[in-house]
Structure 1
Amino acid sequence: MDDLRDLYQQVIFDHYRKPRNYGPLPHANRQAQGFNPLCGDKVTVYLDVESGAIRDVHFEGSGCAICTASASLMTETLKGRTPDEAEQLMEHFHAMVTGQGTNEGLGKLEVLAGVREFPQRIKCATLAWHTMKAALENAAQPVTTE
């Protein structure tokens, strides 16, 4: 089990140090901002949604390792999915990190399952996801975890 935990930590730190899909998305047609006042995480999520699918997704901002890794993994996971699939994935991910669901079907996102052992970090792990949902809904107000 320690080997698996070490592997998960390596993946998290890799996505923190070299986040995927980081930076503005010039052709985004939806975006939202999110803020976690407890940790100081700030995230902007950019989406390009066309023909009922998320064609591209990027993020930018500043945050802790958990927040940045979660956002990076989220961007890789959402490309090609429908908005409904993205929201279902968000619910499944949220259930996993809060200990109310399983890791089944989450693929790489499983590396963040250990967050459930640190309740104060759940908001860090879910900020980008709540921000993505706000972007899908074209929310005008920034998302906050408080």
Structure 2
Amino acid sequence: MDQLYQDRILAFAKAVRQAPELADATHSATISNPTCGDRVEIRLRVTSGKITAASTHVRGCALCEAGAGLLLEMAPGLSTTALTSLGDELATWLAGAGESEIPEAMTAFAPVRAIRNRHKCVTLAFEAGKTALVDKDSD
């Protein structure tokens, strides 16, 4: 278990707890993992198709917080499509199905690859981001 909670993963989790809430979000969603009870609220500010800011509120395990921290680090500057693709890429890589080049920050989650029932913890914030973007686009 110690191998799972490495310093980089804990640093991502800590960043979420210290990040300010985004007051002027244009997109938001809350999503839960019914298996373990993790819950992530995401708020995104999107301008001209690019994510300019993001915040999350996580009620869950350190891996769920760390996944949200990864999103907070990587999302600003991405297009909305790129954020969705990044979440899909993370899920595929965790499952062992994708061995393509991944962003270096994602490699912090290598210990999670072997623990399938924890993958959703890591990807929940990205799923919330996708939901926020899809729900807003369908308005």
Q: TM-score if structure 1 supplies the norm length?
A: 0.83
Which residue does the alignment assign to 1:137? 134
- Aligned mate of 1:58, from 52, 55, 59: 55
Counterpart amino acid of residue 91 in structure 1: D
Which residue does the alignment assign to 2:83? 86
Aligned length: 134
Runs of 4+ in 1 over 6 A off after TM superposition: none
- Pairing 1:122–2:119 present: yes
1:17 Cα deviation (Å)? 3.1
Which residue does the alignment assign to 1:15? 12
Q: TM-score if structure 2 supplies the norm length?
A: 0.87
Alpha-carbon RMSD: 2.0
1:64-83 superposed matches below 5 A: 64-83=61-80
1:23 Cα deviation (Å)? 4.5
Counterpart amino acid of residue 32 in structure 2: F
User: Residues of 2 paired with 1:56 and 1:116: CA distance?
Assistant: 28
1:97 Cα deviation (Å)? 0.8
1:21 Cα deviation (Å)? 6.7
User: Residues of 2 paired with 1:46 and 1:25: CA distance?
Assistant: 6
Note the residue ranges of structure 2 that are not aligned, 5 or more in a row: none
